[in-house]
Amino acid sequence: RPVRAATESAHPPHDLLLRKLSCDSGQRPAHKRHARYLRIAHRKFVASQTPTPQNGDADNLGFMKIFNVLSGWLDYKRKRRTLARLLEHFSMPLVFWYPPADSPLCVGKTTLRMPLDGIIGPRTIAYGHWHGEHTRLIESKLVGAGNSSYFLIDVGANIGLVTRQLLASPRLRWSGAACFEPEAGNIESLRWNIAPLENAIAFPVAISDKDSVGTLHVDLGNAGDCSLDPLPKGIKRSGVSSQEVNLVSGSTAYDMIQRRNSPEDRIVWKSDTQGHDLNIMASMPRELWTRVSVAMIEVRCSNVSDDVLLRFLEIVADFPHRSWIKRREQPVTLDQLKKFCERRNSSEMDLL
């Protein structure tokens, strides 16, 4: 109608959508209308697939503004999963997302920079965390263990979700984090996501047995599936690429870490490198492991030498408690761990 059209023309379409979603009616939109609002936002406001955030956020991108409004409203996982699936249909390679207040990824009013890769981005948006059960488990082992200050070493940090969840927790005192991530696409998101955290730094290198150059294999459909070893066959992938990356030895990596933390800090170790964890652990100086309070390791032994396996078993033997996370924290003896590793296949154990 002419009167309504004249009224709406006085407001940018973006503001009209926000008013329709919130202020005008004072009610939250019905769940069945989310898809319609997002499609309108996508059609009218996504002019570029590469947003240029200003002052630390992505509010200048109308579509993400609408999306973040809806995401903040939806407290139920089922509805957030639906929202994440809708976002996938729009084929946006990158999103800037405000984690809701109930998310362990929430750090003030800062955004998360995430690839919409089909795995990490959609799952994080749907559930509000990335394997938050693992970070809560680490916290539970440290809370009440004294008034120590902890420093995180995150090897295979990906886009920094685990680092952010741990360091954002008010339950522990963290002095900082050293994040190692060689993949070129992930490193930019990693730097963005840990920027609000105190003394957290990203190193764009991979840890290996020597200072060198290597080839990183990357699953194009999963930003977390990157490895110095060839990716296992038999898994459906949207494509695999490779890139040349810088490698540093364990001693070089430890020197880099030492500049960022105090000798009094206790170390929390997390590694997830898709098959290279044992080689990395074996290359690190013995001095490091005397300072580690908790270690979370992805154990895969398809490409491990006998010397590396022996060194790995020596390291874990010094920890009084060992458990298999995905088997309800079932205790793991050294003999069980040795037998698991001697299979030399692509089976994985998330070891705490």
User: How far apart, in whole angstroms, are the C-alpha atoms of residue 225 and residue 223?
Assistant: 6
What is the pLDDT at residue 119? 82
Q: Could you say which DSSP state residue 319 is in?
A: -
Query: What is the rounded average pLDDT of the residues 209-217?
Result: 91
**Among residues of the chain, what percentage have pLDDT more than 70?**
72
* pLDDT tens-digit map of 60-108: 355 566 666 666 655 545 556 666 665 655 556 778 888 888 889 999 8
CA–CA distances in Å: residue 188 to residues 104, 115, 119, 297, 345:
21, 11, 18, 24, 33
Paired tokens of 311: 């060194």
What is the pLDDT at residue 196? 95
User: How far apart, in whole angstroms, are the C-alpha atoms of residue 54 and residue 281?
Assistant: 40
Paired tokens of 276: 């290279």
Rank 81-85, 219-223, 311-315 by mean pLDDT and report only the highest.
Answer: 311-315
User: How far apart, in whole angstroms, are the C-alpha atoms of residue 183 and residue 285?
Assistant: 25
User: How far apart, in whole angstroms, are the C-alpha atoms of residue 11 and residue 19?
Assistant: 10
Whether the predicted pLDDT of 299 surpasses 50: yes
What is the pLDDT at residue 1? 34
Whether the predicted pLDDT of 153 surpasses 80: yes
Name beta bridge partners: 202. 179
CB atoms within 10 A of CB 350: 17
Which three-class secondary structure state does DSSP give residue 331? strand
CA geometry: angle at 202 spanning 228 and 277, to 5°?
Answer: 35
* pLDDT tens-digit map of 275-298: 889 999 999 999 999 999 999 999
Higher pLDDT, 9 or 228: 228
**Exposed, middle or buried by CB within 10 Å (0-12, 13-18, 19+), for 67?**
buried
User: How far apart, in whole angstroms, are the C-alpha atoms of residue 293 and residue 150?
Assistant: 9
What is the pLDDT at residue 144? 74
Among 36-40, 53-57, 156-160, 321-325, where is mean pLDDT lowest?
53-57
* pLDDT tens-digit map of 106-135: 998 888 998 877 788 878 887 889 999 999
Instruction: Assess contact for 193 and 187: CB atoms under 8 A.
Output: no
CB atoms within 10 A of CB 256: 16
Closest Cα partner for 140 from 257, 296, 261, 289? 296
pLDDT band at 178 (very low <50, low <70, confident <90, very high): very high
Separate counts of helices (H) and strands (E) for the chain: 14, 14
CA–CA distances in Å: residue 144 to residues 77, 140, 149, 171, 328:
31, 8, 12, 10, 22
User: How far apart, in whole angstroms, are the C-alpha atoms of residue 292 and residue 148?
Assistant: 12
Which three-class secondary structure state does DSSP give residue 201? strand
What is the pLDDT at residue 45? 45
pLDDT band at 138 (very low <50, low <70, confident <90, very high): very high
Closest Cα partner for 62 from 3, 104, 18, 112? 18
